A and B are shown apart, each in its own frame.
Chain A
Amino acid sequence: DAGVIQSPRHEVTEMGQEVTLRCKPISGHNSLFWYRQTMMRGLELLIYFNNNVPIDDSGMPEDRFSAKMPNASFSTLKIQPSEPRDSAVYFCASSPPVGGSYNEQFFGPGTRLTVL
C-alpha cells in the first residue's frame, strides 16, 4: 500500500520565488496535516484539514503561507514569496476517520526546502 506521498522531496529556490509543496494522503484518510521542522523551532503544526475543510490554521506563520485541499486526494502548501527563514523540512501526514478513539497519523517522507 502506498503511504503518504510528498513532492518534491528536495527543493532549492531563491528568495522571492514562489514554492509549492504537494501531498497525496493515504486513500480513505479524511484528515490531513502539514508540519514544519526546523532546528530552532522543532516540529510544529502549520494547518490541518478534515474532510477537505481547513480546521485550524493558527500555526501558519504568515500570510505568505497558504494551503489548499481541493479534493480528498491532494493538498498543496504554497509559500509566496519565499524567504531564507522558510528553509525547513515540511511534512505532510494523514489519518483515517475517527472511530471512537484517536487514530494514528501517518507521515510522508517530507520535503526539504532550501531558500537561498
Chain B
Amino acid sequence: AQKVTQAQTEISVVEKEDVTLDCVYETRDTTYYLFWYKQPPSGELVFLIRRNSFDEQNEISGRYSWNFQKSTSSFNFTITASQVVDSAVYFCAACSGGGADGLTFGKGTHLIIQP
C-alpha cells in the first residue's frame, strides 16, 4: 500500500511567477510508479507525467518540470512562468509495481493563478 501527501492545500500566485507543488510518498514496494494529474474547473482528470522508481532523472516539458528524489521520497512539480490557464487542482498519485493496480491519490493542491 502507498500513502501520498500533498501538504499544500491551496497556493495562490500572480501570473508569471514560478510555483512548486510538493508531493511526498510512502511505500514499502521496491517497484512503484508516481504520477501527476491535473483537474481543471471542468472536472476531468488530465494525465501529466508518470515516473517509475528506477528512473530518478528529472524531466522538463515546456513550462513544466518534475523533480524526483528517492532520498527524500518526494516527487515535486514546478510550473515556470505560470499562466492563468494553469489554475486547477493538481493531484500526485502512486501505485505499486505490477502494472494494473489502482492509484493512491494525494488530497490535491488547488493552484490559483491571478492575472
Listed in ascending order, the chain A residues whose CB lies under 8 Å from chain B are 30-31, 33, 35, 42-45, 48, 50, 55-56, 59, 89, 91, 95, 98, 101-107, 109-110, 112
Contacts and interface: CB of A to CB of B under 8 A. Distances in A.
8 contacts: A43-B93, A43-B108, A45-B104, A101-B52, A102-B97, A103-B99, A110-B44, A112-B43
A109 B59 CA distance: 28
Interface of B: 33, 43-45, 47, 50, 52, 91, 93, 95, 97-108
Contact of B102 (A33, A89, A104, A106): A33
A30 B45 CA distance: 20
A55 B100 contact: yes
Q: Give the dominant DSSP class at B's interface.
A: loop
Contacts of A55: 100
Nearest 4 pairs of A and B residues by beta carbon = A98-B99, A45-B102, A43-B105, A107-B45
Given A91-B45, A102-B33, A102-B95, A42 B102 contact: no
A48 B91 CA distance: 20
Given A31-B100, A91-B45, A105-B47, 20 more contacts: A33-B103, A35-B103, A43-B93, A48-B100, A48-B101, A55-B100, A56-B101, A59-B102, A95-B100, A98-B99, A98-B100, A101-B52, A102-B52, A102-B98, A103-B100, A104-B50, A105-B103, A107-B44, A107-B45, A109-B44
A49 B30 CA distance: 24
Contacts of B100: 30-31, 48, 50, 55, 95, 98, 103
A89 B43 contact: yes
B45 A42 contact: no
Contact of A104 (B43, B47, B97, B98): B47
